[in-house]
Structure 1
Amino acid sequence: MLAALRSVVVRDLTLALRQRSDVMTTLFFFVIVVSLFPLGVGPELDKLRPLAAGVVWVAALLASMLSLGRVFAHDYTDGTLEQLLVSPQPLSLLVLGKIIAHWIVSGVPLVVMAPLLGLQYDLWGRPLAVLVLSLLLGTPVLSAIGAVGAALTLGLRGASVLVALLVLPLYVPVLIFGAGAVDAAASGIDIEGHLSLLGAFLLVSLALAPWAAALALRVSME
């Protein structure tokens, strides 16, 4: 089963490398949103610093949603998804591999860019480190929840809008505690509660989302 999981991850990463424009679109959107926001608010660091966590997290959430349509769409159009459904390996395991690949392609670049973008808002030291850590814990949750939404809307007209309606309410707790951890670090408050909840969200999503997405795929393909 580990070999099957690894094969799915490697395959999706290989396809993503062949379509670099899709990957760069997500990253550019994230960078542009975070970078343009100070132009609207003003250059005063006292105003920007309290907004940093919320702006970065909202931009990461929206950027992650841009790539949700590609989680299963290519496999659906070329017939690969049908082969996955009849595979002897558990479908939930194969879906987990696709979630991991989606996070590597769309989530890891956001985590890597977050420190540079945080400097625009005068984030330094502990708050900046907590921002990176919260994104590292939270972005896999976004990919896992998004995979369920993508599976439910697979093949439907206007799927991108439906995915947004389905997953945005589920993204809200991750957004609240992710941004809250950074604000707590900047205020000198204990951050263990926020990060513990993000870790709990991560474990629960990795345990339940592949199973739910696999069930939704079977329903969508019928």
Structure 2
Amino acid sequence: MREVRRGLHGAAWLPLAFFLLVAAIVPFAVGPDARLLARIGSGALWIAALTAALLPVERLVEPDRADGVLDQLALAGTTEEAVGAAKMIGHWLTFGPLLLVAAVPGSFLVGLDGPALARTLISLAIGTPALAALAVAVAGLTAGLPRAGQLAGLLIVPLAVPLVIFGAAATGDGESSALKLEAAISLLLLAGAPFVTGAAIRASRT
């Protein structure tokens, strides 16, 4: 609840606005060809979703590390892995549901039809928790480092490539197995991110 309050107290609308802005710019960039838009639209939405998850990365872990909140939680008996899991859930709740709502007008802006819209929502519902997990893990790894925001971007984009590939493929073709592969990658990231975050928090104390 603390993570959700912090996320909503800040610029919670920024990822949503950025997502819609990218969706609105794509038709102007590629032209009015409806078939071309439908072919690249799912990929554009996934890139926008990745960037939206990355925008608040600097405030996910570093403020609590700098203020000593993480040390107080450790003294109270809260494990670093539990802190990482709570931050993942809180981060997703502050951008994931809003992103799913924004995906409806965003899909129409890039020319996706009704079935493609349904696949887009399913794909984003499966993939955005993994994006949140990646953002928190990378935030933990870069906490306390100079230019952490730029470094986080360099780290998270390569790690998110498989998720983006299969997520966009699942949006474009409902008959493929891309959705199952996306779900498998998402589960792997969700399972591993709390341990990576916990190890990073412990390492930042030394």
TM-score for both structures, normalised by structure 1: 0.88
- 1:79 corresponds, among 43, 63, 68, to 68
The residue identity in structure 1 corresponding to 2:134 is: I
Q: Write out per-residue CA displacement over residues 43-87 of structure 1, whole angstroms, 9 at most, x where no aligned residue.
A: 221221111101100111111111111211221233212112333
Match of 1:65 in 2: 54
Is residue 221 of structure 1 aligned with residue 195 of structure 2? no
Is residue 166 of structure 1 aligned with residue 135 of structure 2? no
Pick which of 146-155 and 82-91 moved more.
82-91
Kindly report which structure 2 residues correspond to 1:16-27, keeping only aligned pairs within 5 A, or say none.
Answer: 16-19=7-10, 22-27=11-16
Give yes or no for contact 2:163–2:186 (8 Å, CA) kept in 1: no
Which whole-Å CA distance do the structure 1 matches of 2:2 and 2:145 have between them?
A: 25
The residue identity in structure 2 corresponding to 1:195 is: L
Is residue 200 of structure 1 aligned with residue 200 of structure 2? no
Give yes or no for contact 1:85–1:218 (8 Å, CA) kept in 2: no
Match of 1:104 in 2: 93
Which whole-Å CA distance do the structure 2 matches of 1:54 and 1:17 have between them?
A: 28
Which whole-Å CA distance do the structure 1 matches of 2:110 and 2:19 have between them?
A: 15
Give yes or no for contact 1:153–1:220 (8 Å, CA) kept in 2: no
Q: CA deviation at 1:182?
A: 1.4
SS of the equivalent of 2:173 reads: helix
Which whole-Å CA distance do the structure 2 matches of 1:48 and 1:138 have between them?
A: 22
Q: CA deviation at 1:145?
A: 1.4
Which whole-Å CA distance do the structure 2 matches of 1:145 and 1:50 have between them?
A: 27
Give yes or no for contact 1:95–1:210 (8 Å, CA) kept in 2: yes
SS of the equivalent of 2:12 reads: helix
- 2:117 corresponds, among 122, 125, 128, to 128
Is residue 157 of structure 1 aligned with residue 141 of structure 2? no
SS of the equivalent of 1:123 reads: coil
Which whole-Å CA distance do the structure 2 matches of 1:18 and 1:59 have between them?
A: 22
Is residue 210 of structure 1 aligned with residue 199 of structure 2? no
Is residue 179 of structure 1 aligned with residue 188 of structure 2? no
Q: CA deviation at 1:94?
A: 2.1
Which whole-Å CA distance do the structure 1 matches of 2:55 and 2:5 have between them?
A: 19
Q: Write out per-residue CA displacement over residues 96-132 of structure 1, whole angstroms, 9 at most, x where no aligned residue.
A: 0110100111222112110111012232222111111
The residue identity in structure 2 corresponding to 1:130 is: R
Match of 2:2 in 1: 11
Match of 1:4 in 2: none
Which whole-Å CA distance do the structure 2 matches of 1:85 and 1:199 have between them?
A: 32
- 1:147 corresponds, among 120, 136, 140, to 136
Query: RMSD of the TM alignment (CA)?
Result: 1.4
The aligned length equals 206
Unaligned segments of structure 1, at least 5 residues: 1-9
Match of 1:5 in 2: none
Which whole-Å CA distance do the structure 2 matches of 1:166 and 1:128 have between them?
A: 30
Following superposition, which runs of at least 4 residues in structure 1 exceed 6 angstroms of deviation? none
Unaligned segments of structure 2, at least 5 residues: none
